[in-house]
Amino acid sequence: MSRIAVELVPRDEEVLRRDAGVARALMPSASVINVPDLTRYPVRSWEAASILRRDGFADVVPHIRAIDIPPGGALPGADDPELREVLVIAGDPPVDPEARVYDNTSAEIIARYRREAPHLTVYAAFDPYRRAPYQELEDLARKRDAGAQGFFTQPLFDRRMLDLSMAWLEGDTVFWGVSPVIGPKSRAYWERVNHVVFPRDFDPSLEANIGFAREVLSAVRARGDSAYLMPLRVKLENYLPPLEEVLRG
């Protein structure tokens, strides 16, 4: 397997640094921190990357929201000589209805990064759930044409969707996403926000989620791909150690 990332939410600097330290201790096989950009929190993703580098995390991939970048405006992180990678996403509408957003596509911002910050590796997002597959695959092609050098998938929740997506992204550099879904509230979030269709026999227990994550990591390792873990609504100490066993096995 190429690389393992852990996605950590930058609620504030103290929490971010604490969680990163815990993740490093529990999962030494993970070499990357993946940081979403959530406008309701004070620390932006590219700021989090700088913070974590001071703690010795060299490989941090901040999410960049395309809708936040004004035409001709500065590209977040592009002037940071120590930043190596970014993940460009479209971006959900901000919580603040007064916040200014712009009519950019991910492909347009990817193309700008490739022109204006060629030292950065630029990833794009892949989400097989939110819309019809043909629409996602058409957008995937536009992102490749714009210069995307790889993809981070939205978390996947059953093996059939994983196998389909692996066929669609054959030959691409991919970080395959996995996230636990514990209980009905967590499931309802993914169904409402990402339009996820869970398999009929989906088991929301922690043990079943760890079992599926182990299965995904094994499949990803067999392909020589990468993966990221999004440990939402679980304690890191309960979720990461059993998966570290897979990576060391």
The average pLDDT across 84-97 equals: 92
Q: What is the CATH number of the domain that holds 59?
A: 3.20.20.220
The boundaries of the domain holding residue 224 are: 4-248
How confident is residue 148, by pLDDT bands cut at 50, 70 and 90?
very high
Average per-residue pLDDT in the chain?
96
In contact, 40 and 66? CB cutoff 8 Å: no
Give SS3 for 218: helix
More confident residue, 120 or 248: 120
Percent of the chain exceeding pLDDT 70 equals 100
CA distances from 209 to 8, 57, 108, 138, 180 (A): 18, 27, 36, 31, 5
| pLDDT of 94 above 90 | no
What's the structural domain count of the chain? 1
CA–CA gap between residue 241 and residue 246 (Å, rounded) = 9
Neighbours of 118 (CB within 10 A): 10
Q: Model's pTM, two decimal places? A: 0.96
| pLDDT of 236 above 80 | yes
